[in-house]
Structure 1
Amino acid sequence: MTVEEKNVDIAIIGSGSAGLYALGRVKASGKSFVLINGGEQGTTCARVGCMPSKVLIQIAEDYHRCGILGRYGVEGHKSLTLDGEEALGHVQDLRDNFVDRVISNSTAQMSDEVFLEGYARFIEPHLLEVNGKRVRADKIIIATGSRPVIPKPWQAFGDRILTTDTLFEQEQLPESLAVIGLGVIGLEIGQSMARLGVETTGFDQLETIGGLDDPAVAKAAIEIIGRDFPLHLGHPAEITEEGDKLRVTAGEHSVVVDKVLASLGRRPNLDNLQIENAGIDLGVHAIPAYNPNTMQIGDSHIFLAGDVNAERPLLHEAGDEGRIAGHNASSDQIQAFKRKTPLAINFVDPNICHVGKRWSELDYAQTAVGEVNMAPVGRALIMGKNKGVIRVYADKVSGKLLGAEMICAKGENLAHLLAWCIEQELTVGQLLQMPFYHPVIEEALQAALYDLYAKVETKNSGPITELKMID
């Protein structure tokens, strides 16, 4: 029996952020295409990632802020109570709104001819099967995203183990929570839950948190975040059942909780694609070798974009990767693209940010480091958020800015400024000739840059504060 095949120029597997950005480039090329999606629609960011987590963070920050109003003479602040069901309902309402916006502006407008719902698998290098239908494509873009990691033994504990896929479906806040894995998600949710009144405890087998590897910033972060909830580092966590609760043990520390948030990273959704039928080797880490500047797997007709490659699991990076994959899948020749300056922001309070080169990537003999402690910064002191440190890195000879790590108030804004400056290959001296208002958090960055400027060899032709003459 002959199975009917649909023939297209390009098949895109996955309608998340990377897939939708790839689709934009493919549509513009005029090539024929199909978009295939299995499971929930609406992008990881809108459904279970960036957006619902930021709603929860905002609720927690506002509630926490109310609790310290007494220092300003506001009476009655201690009698404020939180309705957990109402708070989580608000998170879900906004989450649904974000998801609906994504769907209504993308797949909802597509016909059944070009949007196929179902899980795809490779039959041959150019042939896919989706719910019994077959699609033959000249080029294929894999943008299937990722899913939370849950160790197999933990799966026996059922719904007492939460992930970001299930956290935002909860109708009540737990009385107690253990967060295992203190990367971006673990820190954000852990601090938020603690500020909402949940008895929260954090665990990580690493000696650092938030992906920090600058020792000065990591030390400050552990001290600051540890004031909101206890952090137990350096030992792997084990879970055992204790009645209807769970006991989490790591080293000498043990706690009994109602729920556990497993925040152990994410696994690429590649294992059910049967990509070996396309002649692709998954490699040591179960991810095919690909070029991050072209998104092409080897010299094949297949491209990998977004969280599925586990390289830079961030929405703006997924967008760039989708655009690159879409462009190359639509073109006769493969074009390499320069990737943007790395930028990562953890929305804990205060923000933890990484920009450009990481501490572990630096050549310490050729790198100058500038630093400022947030304690005396006027604007931060006024806000009651003068905790943290900013560390900026530059090439010792040229003075070009290389990167930064920080934990500070409004770090999300400072990180963008620094990323833009690194992208423009500016020197420390050039940055210090920019205008700085008063009083603003940016003055803390200015102080760190002054410290850095004293340690680089390349100086401005005149004093930093000298105005440029008009010809």
Structure 2
Amino acid sequence: MSDVRELSIEVRGMTCDHCERSVANALETVPGVEQVLEVSHAGAIARVKAGPEATSDRIEGAVAKAGYRARVRSHGGAAAPVAVPSRGADFDLLIVGGGSAGFAAAIKGADMGARVAMAEAGTLGGTCVNVGCVPSKTLIRAAEVQHRRSHHPFDGIPAGDGRPDWARVRGEKDQLVGELRQAKYRDVLRSYEAITLFEQRATLTSGRSVRLADGRTLTAGRILIATGASPWAPPIPGLAESGYLENASAMALDRLPDSLIVIGASAVGLELAQMFARLGVRVTVLEALPRVVPAEDPAIGEALGDLLRAEGLDVRTGVAIESVSRADDGYSARFQEEGEARAVRADQLLVAAGRRANTRGFGLEDSGVTLGKNGEIVVNEFLQTANPGIYAAGDVIGDPMFVYVAAYGGALAAENALGGNVRHYDLAALPKVTFTDPAVASVGLTEDQARAAGIEPLVSKLPLEHVPRALAARDTRGFVKLVADAATRKIVGAHILAAEAGEMITEPALAIKHGLTIEDLTGTFHPYLTLSEGIKLAAQTFDRDVAKLSCCAA
């Protein structure tokens, strides 16, 4: 029926799976409700398909009878209209920052019928398209092609070699960045008449106004801060005086150095370290914590560190860097390792030790906005700051700093700012990927985190030597590790080390988000000779020895 639409409902008071079932049962009794699509106590949300008979009063009344509070907030998948009055302001929503969060917020605001302004003094598009995800991943792929020329497992294919043409590789990267910036940012803005772009810095003068660099003052019903984050350097003696590369400047070097020191072994540090190593640079990685990718499952950190060392990278973990110095012949880093004083020299030094929110110089401190210990903006579950008229989203609110989180947060913050705090910020099933080779992908809890949360974990760890696709590709580096709740057999975590781990992680993320069990995974068809079949095999490993199964055993 053409008049059937999707309704999104905010539901308060749910705390468990039983609550979800009670709400679902209540919704099914409402005349006109054709299907209950989702009920989530974690997200405080329900979604249904319904005809016109399913009015807001009927839905909210049925949920109230079940003992919960409901509010119908959107129809047909479209954003709810603007509900917060602007009272004569220049704009309904004014966004400070033109990156992923800012653009998502602007588009959401325009879809809601709001008058939107965006102020951005730097390059449109933010970190990801300009100096982060897009340029790094294209360079990583180029380095992988170079590496495969002389390092592949097929004896019948002659190996090749040769120094890469860095200038051409870098030029192709710059071309891609420019094309995407134009197509996905500038051209997108032109298609929205309701969005006005001011390409200059904006400073808050109150909770309802900003002053532009040219002296003009703009007013708005609501303000959204989406100013992103910048690379951060640890306070190592001599580091600031010596100067160093950050991720953007490293990818823009005129020529490849012969040697490189990388400080930091999380995602950015390891991705760039391996990239440069595969392009012929001698790379040393220095990490203060005991393992690389220290935020990941310990087994992944141990295995990835060993694989990178086997590839020729000099990876040092558990070190304490004492000083950095620079001379005509390059950089020197002095550090303590296992109680002994050591030093390493290289032509260039890259610092990849994390990022900090861009909150200085925007007038936040005079606008009632509270900052956290690392300078990030403190927000509530609606992404609202301590000043109720100001919201914030993206990297500026701190970890996790991913482009897809920024886009999600920007749209959510705009909807809350304009619609009256109707959606909760929920990162309960957030997947993340480190684009090394093999890659790292994870979602949910590790087994230690599960125990800390009061969950008795069931753990399955499947080496890739049991995945037919990995055998056919002659690349069995890595494993798939799943964590389930022993009481319910629901999947609560997944941790993957594999050549294309990022292409495998969405299935476990969906499983966690929707409360799927081990049996749901084992009972789902997985195409043969795909790496994603490793998810099913890992789920089977909870109860069976997959080494004793035939290739296509169910």
TM-score (norm 2): 0.76
Partner in structure 2 of residue 99 of structure 1: 181
Question: Aligned partners of 2:342, 2:212: CA distance in 1, in Å?
Answer: 48
Partner in structure 1 of residue 404 of structure 2: 316
Checking the alignment, whether the CA contact within 8 Å between 1:351 and 1:411 is kept in structure 2 is yes
Q: Given the alignment of the two structures, is residue 56 of structure 1 paired with residue 139 of structure 2, yes or no?
A: yes
Q: Given the alignment of the two structures, is residue 233 of structure 1 paired with residue 308 of structure 2, yes or no?
A: no
**SS of residue matched to 1:105:** helix
Q: Given the alignment of the two structures, is residue 126 of structure 1 paired with residue 212 of structure 2, yes or no?
A: no
1:2-36 superposed Cα distances (whole Å, 9 cap, x missing partner)? xxx97322211111110000011111222222111
Q: Given the alignment of the two structures, is residue 157 of structure 1 paired with residue 242 of structure 2, yes or no?
A: yes
Question: Aligned partners of 1:79, 1:276: CA distance in 2, in Å?
Answer: 56
Give the counterpart of 1:192 among 275, 299, 305: 275
Cα displacement (A) at 1:174: 1.2
The percent identity for this pair of structures is: 25
1:323-372 superposed Cα distances (whole Å, 9 cap, x missing partner)? 11110111145433544611001111111111122444212661111111
Q: Given the alignment of the two structures, is residue 330 of structure 1 paired with residue 413 of structure 2, yes or no?
A: no
**SS of residue matched to 1:282:** coil
1:237-286 superposed Cα distances (whole Å, 9 cap, x missing partner)? 33112334101222244221111111011111111112111122223332
Checking the alignment, whether the CA contact within 8 Å between 2:450 and 2:457 is kept in structure 1 is yes
Partner in structure 2 of residue 250 of structure 1: 335
Checking the alignment, whether the CA contact within 8 Å between 1:176 and 1:199 is kept in structure 2 is yes
**SS of residue matched to 1:150:** coil
Give the counterpart of 1:82 among 164, 182, 189: 164
Task: Give matches, 1:255-334, under 5 Å.
Answer: 255-291=344-380, 293-298=381-386, 300-334=388-422
Question: Aligned partners of 2:195, 2:480: CA distance in 1, in Å?
Answer: 53
Give the counterpart of 2:437 among 349, 352, 367: 349
Q: Cα 1:155–1:99, aligned 2, differ >3 Å: closer, same or farther? A: farther
Give the counterpart of 2:104 among 18, 21, 25: 21
Letter in 2 for 1:146: A
Checking the alignment, whether the CA contact within 8 Å between 1:213 and 1:360 is kept in structure 2 is no
Partner in structure 2 of residue 459 of structure 1: none
Q: Which moved more, 1:206-215 or 1:331-340?
A: 331-340
Q: Cα 1:260–1:321, aligned 2, differ >3 Å: closer, same or farther? A: same
Partner in structure 1 of residue 43 of structure 2: none
Question: Aligned partners of 2:387, 2:270: CA distance in 1, in Å?
Answer: 40
Q: Cα 1:264–1:449, aligned 2, differ >3 Å: closer, same or farther? A: same
Q: Given the alignment of the two structures, is residue 438 of structure 1 paired with residue 528 of structure 2, yes or no?
A: yes
Q: Which moved more, 1:81-90 or 1:107-116?
A: 107-116
Checking the alignment, whether the CA contact within 8 Å between 1:374 and 1:389 is kept in structure 2 is yes
Q: Cα 1:9–1:438, aligned 2, differ >3 Å: closer, same or farther? A: closer
Question: Aligned partners of 1:98, 1:355: CA distance in 2, in Å?
Answer: 28
Cα displacement (A) at 1:312: 2.0
Question: Aligned partners of 1:338, 1:206: CA distance in 2, in Å?
Answer: 29
Question: Aligned partners of 1:358, 1:84: CA distance in 2, in Å?
Answer: 39
Question: Aligned partners of 1:268, 1:24: CA distance in 2, in Å?
Answer: 23
Q: Cα 1:110–1:434, aligned 2, differ >3 Å: closer, same or farther? A: closer
Higher relative contact order (CA 8 A, sep 6+): 1
Question: Aligned partners of 2:456, 2:301: CA distance in 1, in Å?
Answer: 22
**SS of residue matched to 1:73:** coil
Matched residue count? 449
1:149-174 superposed Cα distances (whole Å, 9 cap, x missing partner)? 1346423223xx11123123222111
Checking the alignment, whether the CA contact within 8 Å between 2:115 and 2:194 is kept in structure 1 is no
Cα displacement (A) at 1:136: 1.9
Q: Given the alignment of the two structures, is residue 410 of structure 1 paired with residue 500 of structure 2, yes or no?
A: yes
Q: Which moved more, 1:220-229 or 1:208-217?
A: 208-217
Where do 5+ consecutive residues of structure 1 fail to align?
456-464, 467-471
Letter in 1 for 2:352: S
Task: Give matches, 1:416-427, under 5 Å.
Answer: 416-427=506-517
Question: Aligned partners of 1:79, 1:414: CA distance in 2, in Å?
Answer: 31
Task: Give matches, 1:5-20, under 5 Å.
Answer: 7-20=90-103
Cα displacement (A) at 1:85: 1.9
1:374-428 superposed Cα distances (whole Å, 9 cap, x missing partner)? 2343321332321112211000010000011121122112111111222221100
Q: Which moved more, 1:260-269 or 1:26-35?
A: 26-35
Question: Aligned partners of 1:242, 1:48: CA distance in 2, in Å?
Answer: 28
Where do 5+ consecutive residues of structure 2 fail to align?
1-87, 546-552
Question: Aligned partners of 1:358, 1:283: CA distance in 2, in Å?
Answer: 27
CA RMSD after TM alignment: 2.4
Letter in 2 for 1:116: F
Question: Aligned partners of 2:502, 2:457: CA distance in 1, in Å?
Answer: 24
Partner in structure 2 of residue 377 of structure 1: 467
Question: Aligned partners of 2:544, 2:456: CA distance in 1, in Å?
Answer: 15
Question: Aligned partners of 2:195, 2:384: CA distance in 1, in Å?
Answer: 26
1:171-214 superposed Cα distances (whole Å, 9 cap, x missing partner)? 21111111111111111111111011011111110112124442
Q: Cα 1:172–1:405, aligned 2, differ >3 Å: closer, same or farther? A: same
Cα displacement (A) at 1:299: 6.0
Checking the alignment, whether the CA contact within 8 Å between 1:6 and 1:134 is kept in structure 2 is no
**SS of residue matched to 2:139:** helix
1:31-72 superposed Cα distances (whole Å, 9 cap, x missing partner)? 222111121222211100111111111101111111125842
Checking the alignment, whether the CA contact within 8 Å between 1:43 and 1:102 is kept in structure 2 is no
